[in-house]
Amino acid sequence: MFSKLFTPNKEIPRSIYIAAGIASFVAFIGFWSVLSYGGLVNPLFLPAPDIIWKTAINQFIDGEILSDIGISFSRVALGFFFAALVGVPLGMLMGSLRIMEGAFEPIIGFIRYMPASAFIPLFILWIGLGEAEKMAVIFFGTFFQLTLMVMDVTKNIQNDLIEVSYTLGASKGQIFRKVILPASLPGIVDTLRITFGWAWTYLVVAEIVGATSGLGFMIMQASRFLKPEKIIVGIIIIGLLGMIIDLLFKVLYRASFSWMRKEG
Amino acid sequence: MDNAKLIIDQVGKVFPTKAGEMVALDQTSFSIKDGEFVTILGPSGCGKSTILRIVAGLEQPSSGRVLLDGKEVKEPGPDRGMVFQSYTLYPWLTVEDNISFGLELKGVPKKQRLETAQHYLNLIGLKGFEKHYPVQLSGGMKQRVAIARALANDPKILLMDEPFGALDAQTRTIMQEILLKVWEESRKTILFITHDVEEAIFLGDSVYVMTARPGRLKKNIKVPLDRPREFSVKQSPEFLDLKNELLGLIREETLKVV
């Protein structure tokens, strides 16, 4: 029984699988509790779990955190939306037309290694301190990766699938609409799920400079006034939001692509 | 060549490689009559798929030309249906939508499309599977649907590139019988590529044997077996004689490249 759990690629009971996930969380909080309640770490550096919990409750009762969540979410969502709006079609074209790949792959491959955070001063110069600047950071942080990942998805469509479509009489336009698009859709949704997660990580960067609201701003304020419990609450909220969106994408994926599963 | 459906006229193919030019197909000529079932038999890498891809229009010949009903083939089109060795069904479409895909491209109304799909579903013996997705089908079923999809377009010729090559031996023999039945009913002209000697004889009116690279026609043999053919014909002396002859020819060619 015990040895089966450590056999490579062997399936294990679902209950044990879930229990293992819960155990990790419990171990994490347990380790944290030992450090804080045990007095091993200065509470100024690491507040105890119950302090974090109370802070979170107070912030939600206070209500200000809700508007921070709202504004941060809209920044991430809109910045990411525009990145996907341009990146998905461009990536699909790059994955299917060699001329587009030749034209854009080198420059995108170059820009994507430039740090988005270092562009913030430039964005402020170019577009000011408003909402557009925050979204520009999110856009910049996700667009290039997203485009290249969509390109790979489209490129990996089985060539025979496209050739057989030509022999069935498909025009070039029909190949795009009726073959390449549906064939790459599951991969695109999965790419969006992964890159949307990255968009959240750029949020704090975007809200460090020139922001007066949002979760990132809240975290920066808390750090200025040395309130580690607030910092941790902000971080946990961002983590939870990211995880919820990730789950929603997975649900959408399962619902939309039932044809990928044997049970139908 | 008066009643020829398909004419392969001096067709050759040269691929550029780093080491210089590689002749995949020496200049080759032959023709296929309307309703004829021709199998091309050759060792692997002999350019037999190249011929088929040129006829399909997926590959341009380096020399010569291909004529279908007297018209030169320039690009792929629905008048030449193709079945690949790999599974090429659209995984996001049901079986009936897969079969009627070519008709949808043409803009045929849905009702008519589904009627045609029904007809071919019956023909390939997959009635009741219309709403299934490809992932739910076995390999043999997938290839039957691929055949139905190509036929639903009512092409002038059906091109088959080792369509049963990925199937296990038992399934393959059953698929051969199903294909013959379909052919008896539709009387399509078929050009069928294989490296399996039994398959080439069992299916074909004539077998074209190809040489190892550079590919060339080595011999054209008429198959002296009556139609319709049953599975049991594979035990007949005529079949076995022909099989031995072809095995010898293929062995000669394979030895050159092994």
Q: What is the pLDDT of residue B2?
A: 57
How is residue B54 written in tokens? 């040129």
Tokens 């699938």 sit on residue:
A161
pLDDT in tens, A132-144: 999 999 999 999 9
Helix (H, G, I), strand (E, B), or coil: what is residue B55?
Answer: helix
The residues, any chain, with a CB within 8 Å of residue A195's CB and separated by 6 or more, are A80, A83, A84, A142, A145, A146, A149
Nearest residue, CB atoms, A169 vs list B88, B106, B134: B106
Binary contact (B81, A160; C-beta < 8 A):
no
Inter-chain CB pairs, A–B, below 8 Å: 75
Q: What is the pLDDT of residue B160?
A: 97
Mutation site for A-interface testing, chosen from B55, B60, B75, B88 by largest number of A Cβ within 10 Å: B88
Nearest residue, CB atoms, A167 vs list B81, B92, B135: B81
Pairing of strands B63-68, B4-17: antiparallel
How is residue A70 written in tokens? 């709202």
Q: Strands of chain B (E only): list them.
A: 4-17, 20-33, 37-41, 63-68, 71-72, 80-83, 157-161, 189-194, 206-210, 217-222
Confidence of residue A264 (pLDDT cuts 50, 70, 90): low
pLDDT in tens, B19-49: 888 888 999 999 999 999 999 998 877 788 9
Output the furthest CA–CA distance in chain B (Å, rounded).
Answer: 55
Tokens 């599963």 sit on residue:
A261
pLDDT in tens, B80-103: 999 999 999 999 999 999 999 999
Q: What is the pLDDT of residue A210?
A: 79
Query: Of all residues in chain B, what percent are helix, strand and coil, respectively (each to 5)?
Result: 40, 25, 35
Output the furthest CA–CA distance in chain A (Å, rounded).
Answer: 74
Q: What is the pLDDT of residue A9?
A: 87
pLDDT surpasses 90 at A68: yes
Binary contact (B78, A167; C-beta < 8 A):
yes
How is residue A218 written in tokens? 């809240």
End-to-end Cα, chain B, rounded Å:
37
Tokens 């001096």 sit on residue:
B10
User: What average pLDDT is seen over chain A?
Assistant: 93
The residues of B whose Cβ lies within 8 A of any Cβ of A are: 56-58, 75-78, 80-82, 84, 86, 88, 90-93, 101-102, 104-106, 132-136, 146, 149-150, 153, 159
Q: Chain B closest CA to A178's CA: distance in Å? A: 9
**In A, residues 173-232, which contact B (CB 8 Å cutoff)?**
174, 178-179, 182-183, 185
Confidence of residue A211 (pLDDT cuts 50, 70, 90): confident
**B56 interaction partners in chain A (CB closer than 8 Å):** 163, 167
CATH of the domain at B36: 3.40.50.300
Provide long-range contacts, Cβ within 8 A and 24+ apart, for A52-55: A52/A229, A52/A232, A52/A233, A52/A236, A55/A229, A55/A230, A55/A233
Reported ipTM: the value is: 0.93
Q: What is the pLDDT of residue B248?
A: 93
Mutation site for B-interface testing, chosen from A157, A162, A168, A176 by largest number of B Cβ within 10 Å: A168
A253 to chain B, any CB pair closer than 8 A? The answer is no
Tokens 């490579």 sit on residue:
A8
Binary contact (A167, B132; C-beta < 8 A):
no
Domain extent, residue B118, equals 4-257
Q: What is the pLDDT of residue B69?
A: 95
The residues, any chain, with a CB within 8 Å of residue A227's CB and separated by 6 or more, are none
**What are the backbone dihedrals phi and psi of residue A77, each rounded to the nearest 5 degrees, phi first?**
-65, -45
pLDDT in tens, B59-72: 999 999 999 999 99
Q: What is the pLDDT of residue A1?
A: 62
Q: What is the pLDDT of residue A60?
A: 93
pLDDT over 90 for what percent of chain B? 81
How is residue B150 written in tokens? 């190509």
**A169 interaction partners in chain B (CB closer than 8 Å):** 77-78, 102, 105-106, 153
The residues, any chain, with a CB within 8 Å of residue B151's CB and separated by 6 or more, are B81, B120, B123, B158, B182, B186, B188
The residues, any chain, with a CB within 8 Å of residue B182's CB and separated by 6 or more, are B123, B124, B147, B151
**What are the backbone dihedrals phi and psi of residue B23, each rounded to the nearest 5 degrees, phi first?**
-85, 110
Confidence of residue A46 (pLDDT cuts 50, 70, 90): very high
Q: Is the CA virtual torsion A230, A233, A235, A237 positive or negative?
A: negative
Q: Chain B closest CA to A260's CA: distance in Å? A: 7
What total number of domains does chain B contain? 1
pLDDT in tens, chain B (258 residues): 457 999 999 999 998 888 888 888 999 999 999 999 999 998 877 788 999 999 999 999 999 999 999 999 999 999 999 999 999 999 999 999 999 999 999 999 999 999 999 999 999 999 999 999 999 999 999 999 999 999 999 999 999 999 999 999 999 999 999 999 999 999 999 999 999 999 999 999 999 999 887 888 889 999 999 989 998 999 999 999 999 999 999 998 888 877
Confidence of residue A5 (pLDDT cuts 50, 70, 90): confident
Q: Strands of B34-109 (E only): list them.
A: 37-41, 63-68, 71-72, 80-83
Q: Are B6 and B68 in contact (CB under 8 A)?
A: yes
Confidence of residue A3 (pLDDT cuts 50, 70, 90): confident
Binary contact (B90, A166; C-beta < 8 A):
no
Binary contact (B149, A168; C-beta < 8 A):
yes
